[in-house]
Amino acid sequence: MIPHSWNLILIVAGGFACILALGAGVAYFKFSKRNASWYYNKGIDFYQNNHLTRAIDCFTRATALQPDFAEAHYNLGLIYQQQEDAANAKQCFQSVLDIAPDDLEALYNLALIEYEESAYPQAEALLRKALEIAPEDADCYYLLGLVYEADKKFAEAMEAFQKATDYDATNINAFLFLGKLQDQSVQLAEAIQNFKKVLELDPNNLEANYDLSISLAKKGDWEGTIQYSQKAIQIDPNYAKAYNQLGLAHYCQEEMPDAIAFYQKAIEIDPAYGNAYNNLGYAYQKTGRYAEAIEMFEQYLKIGTDAEEEAEIREHIDLLKKKMLE
Beta bridge partners of 22: 27
CA angle 235, 214, 294 (to 5 degrees): 100
Give the single-character DSSP code of 14. Answer: S
CB-CB contact of 274 with 305 (8 Å)? yes
Distance CA(47)–CA(59), nearest Å, equals 10
The DSSP annotation for 119-137 comes to -HHHHHHHHHHHHHH-TT-
How confident is the model at residue 42, as a pLDDT? Answer: 95
Nearest to 31 by CA among 45, 46, 20: 20
Distance CA(17)–CA(28), nearest Å, equals 13
For the domain spanning 240-326, the CATH number is 1.25.40.10
Distance CA(87)–CA(167), nearest Å, equals 32
Distance CA(130)–CA(103), nearest Å, equals 8
First and final C-alpha spacing in the chain: 59
CB-CB contact of 21 with 14 (8 Å)? no
pTM tops 0.75, yes or no: yes
Render each residue's pLDDT in the chain as its tens digit; 326 residues. 334 544 454 433 433 222 222 233 333 334 446 899 999 999 999 999 999 999 999 999 999 999 999 999 999 999 999 999 999 999 999 999 999 999 999 999 999 999 999 999 999 999 999 999 999 999 999 999 999 999 999 999 999 999 999 999 999 999 999 999 999 999 999 999 999 999 999 999 999 999 999 999 999 999 999 999 999 999 999 999 999 999 999 999 999 999 999 999 999 999 999 999 999 999 999 999 999 999 999 999 999 877 888 889 999 999 999 888 87
How confident is the model at residue 307, as a pLDDT? Answer: 80
CB-CB contact of 154 with 138 (8 Å)? no
Distance CA(98)–CA(107), nearest Å, equals 11
Residue 277 sits at φ, ψ, to 5 deg, of -60, -45
